[in-house]
Structure 1
């Protein structure tokens, strides 16, 4: 039962992370391959703040704020590029962020990571706290879902889709494509910061190895598999991917091949992502088009 609670908590965290990317990829058409960087910024921000003795709620708020601010600072220069070049720029930023976490040992402790990250006092530690942390994650994920649902169904959300389909039409309607893209990046980065904060306080230990290209592929797979540009797609995709990932642990793999499991898993997810984008780009839950 405890293991099932663990998987559901992970799925909720990745649901929030997938929703953050879906706002940019699915609704705005921005292929952001550096979303894991904002995930990391949120995790490290709340870890450093709470380890310094401040309360968890303050760490979570600051994690979202710092991730959103980072998204704003990156969005303007990156959005001068378009198409594949924007994707390459964000991919480079994601790797730069990981290297920064790795090398700035005075702050992040480099490859040793940050252990002992506290959970909210009312949750406590240990296995007995899993139901309470599940409730904590569920409430924050539902709030993020509710906010995104209202955002994407508002005139702002409809304008994002216009920008995605044709920027020239958006300009003809008096909409600034760059302004909408920047706001989408900031909103998505803020949600990624929330996911990072949940990750840090649940695992209670973070290191640069948590924010690699494999995590980026995993997030993309959640969005594409579930259905980009839909509100329920990232939810379905995240739960399917996380449950499938955990099922791989029970495969009868010889012990001498265990060291190759992570690399093989990344290649399998990458292959599935390519096949989905070629064969069923609309995902499990297709976007409703009027």
Structure 2
């Protein structure tokens, strides 16, 4: 099973990986003592670990190639356990009820720090579901999604700073302005698809960031905007802990509302038009679907959720600057959609929780946590390229009476 060529390739890959991780894993500089520590043991561990992982991957590929082809009936039965579980109404109600109870008591059994991290994770859940409309359902690769996030954040920051408008007043305004920005982006890219669409949207995101960074009279430039008001409760100002608790329950409500809306959109006529557009754009037009309106609706609705989360982000941090809206944010949100499963609501939720919470809980690994994080992503792309929870294609059958 393991030929000499396979073993030689594994050794070369291990040596190459040791070379790539050499500055991080082997060299340690002590600036106080002005000495360099050479940790050769780490290089040996990386080489052996990479070689063993390569052999495991080769073994799994060998088994996959030599197993008998699955029958059609067996393929239909290989539906995700979560999808099967949710399909039952009683089990679905029990699951959602249990999760709701856990979410309700979560802030009272953990620290304020953990609650604050969970607020960030829930924000990325909603951002992932918003991008899932554009990428997962409509099949439009958007690499500038963070631009709409920035529009919402700066809408609240500027309106609060200059006109004293509160959180709840600006929330729909921020979402609306982001939706308008989504339509303005959608018009120039109606004829583009694939890599060309990705490049244009990436450029749009960078244009927004650079405008915010250089137009100091409008956005305060790199210095950003501080002292942004936190959301109040019935006109009362809350303490820091009370504000975090209040924000947490706001995000729980937003997440439930977003899941409900996105799920209804999937089953709607518009949602089916998005899926048709994703599968075959030419056939979609031939069926009489207006491609322009369908694309613009996807861009605007996805941008609307990003704008809402931008307002919440500005209210949560009370300070924003252009450095908060780099391409890395768009890449993280896109990774959530791809890792969770494009088009899958449950997958995006799990993907967001994993991608946002995992780096925080890997802090024990110190400087190795990003290396471990990257290795987990690579393993997912190798063994589960369709995502953790792949979307289930719905089929319809006519029953003979």
User: 2:230·2:243 contact (CA, 8 Å) conserved in 1?
Assistant: no
What corresponds to 1:127 in structure 2? Answer: 241
Report the alpha carbon displacement of residue 223 of structure 1 after superposing the two structures with TM: 0.8
Structure 2 residue 140 is matched with structure 1 residue 30: yes
Report the alpha carbon displacement of residue 145 of structure 1 after superposing the two structures with TM: 1.8
Structure 2 residue 150 is matched with structure 1 residue 40: yes
| Aligned partner (choices 319, 329, 336) of residue 222 of structure 1 | 336
SS for the counterpart of 1:124 is coil
- How many residues align? The count is 280
Report the alpha carbon displacement of residue 268 of structure 1 after superposing the two structures with TM: 7.7
Going from structure 1 to structure 2, the CA distance change for 1:285 and 1:270 (only over 3 Å counts) comes to same
| Aligned partner (choices 209, 221, 226) of residue 110 of structure 1 | 221
Structure 2 residue 197 is matched with structure 1 residue 86: yes
Gaps of 5+ in 1: 254-260
What corresponds to 2:43 in structure 1? Answer: none
Structure 2 residue 284 is matched with structure 1 residue 284: no
User: Aligned equivalents of 2:314 and 2:183: distance in 1?
Assistant: 23
Deviation per residue, 1:259-290 (Å, 9 max, x gap): xx9xx95x887776676556533211111013
Report the alpha carbon displacement of residue 88 of structure 1 after superposing the two structures with TM: 0.3
User: 2:359·2:373 contact (CA, 8 Å) conserved in 1?
Assistant: no
| Greater relative contact order (Cα < 8 A, sep 6+) | 1
What corresponds to 1:256 in structure 2? Answer: none
For residues 1-290 of structure 1, the aligned pairs below 5 Å read 1-51=111-161, 52-122=163-233, 124-253=238-367, 265=370, 276=380, 279-289=383-393, 290=395
Q: CA-atom RMSD, angstroms?
A: 2.0
Report the alpha carbon displacement of residue 245 of structure 1 after superposing the two structures with TM: 2.1
User: Aligned equivalents of 1:125 and 1:199: distance in 2?
Assistant: 18
User: 1:7·1:243 contact (CA, 8 Å) conserved in 2?
Assistant: yes
Report the alpha carbon displacement of residue 79 of structure 1 after superposing the two structures with TM: 2.2
User: 2:166·2:229 contact (CA, 8 Å) conserved in 1?
Assistant: no
Deviation per residue, 1:29-88 (Å, 9 max, x gap): 010000000001111001111223112112111110110000101101022222110000
TM-score, length basis structure 2? 0.66
User: 2:123·2:309 contact (CA, 8 Å) conserved in 1?
Assistant: yes
Deviation per residue, 1:123-169 (Å, 9 max, x gap): 62413322111011111222122111111111211111011001122
User: Aligned equivalents of 1:67 and 1:155: distance in 2?
Assistant: 24
Larger Cα Rg: Structure 1 or Structure 2?
Answer: 2
Deviation per residue, 1:171-197 (Å, 9 max, x gap): 121101222111100000011101111
User: 1:221·1:273 contact (CA, 8 Å) conserved in 2?
Assistant: no
Q: Which stretch of the first structure deviates more once superposed, 3-12 or 140-149?
A: 140-149
TM-score, length basis structure 1? 0.90
User: 1:36·1:212 contact (CA, 8 Å) conserved in 2?
Assistant: yes
SS for the counterpart of 1:78 is coil
What corresponds to 1:257 in structure 2? Answer: none
Deviation per residue, 1:218-248 (Å, 9 max, x gap): 1011111111111222211111111112124
